Structure 1
């Protein structure tokens, strides 16, 4: 079955624009194929729910990794501060003069 027959309104509009029936049906076929292809690419509500759950999990994982990095950086900065404090204590008061 030709898709042009499934979309007689498209064929009628094209014929009204002085396109012969065979060409109008061919155009309707192409439009139908494009429509089917586009519909196949649409996400369903279930697809979106699944994606949302996946993204929430990814975000939670990233939050955890950022917290680990933050704790690691704070520990490193604390060590550096301790080293500076020890260096200051060992060098004594700054001399002026």
Structure 2
């Protein structure tokens, strides 16, 4: 059972990096540092959107409109960190 929890923790850690990449990539696109017309950039963007949007969309529906500021990745990261702490502190020690 601990192996399954380790895999879950590892997957959550990778997802944190993907959310960070999505936020940074969106800033790079917003400030025209990278060109969206490039196929590689578009492919990376489509991958990041496909992986993060199903989780971020429900969070965005609960948040009020902040006028162009998207704090849904921050809320998602806090939720992932909370889930990781719950697994490490309460579930992992009780599993043999």
Fold similarity call, TM over 0.5: no
Question: Which structure has more RCO (C-alpha within 8 Å, separation ≥ 6)?
Answer: 2
Q: TM-score range by the shorter chain?
A: 0.3 to 0.5
Name the one with the larger helix percent. 1
Structure 2 length-normalised TM: 0.33
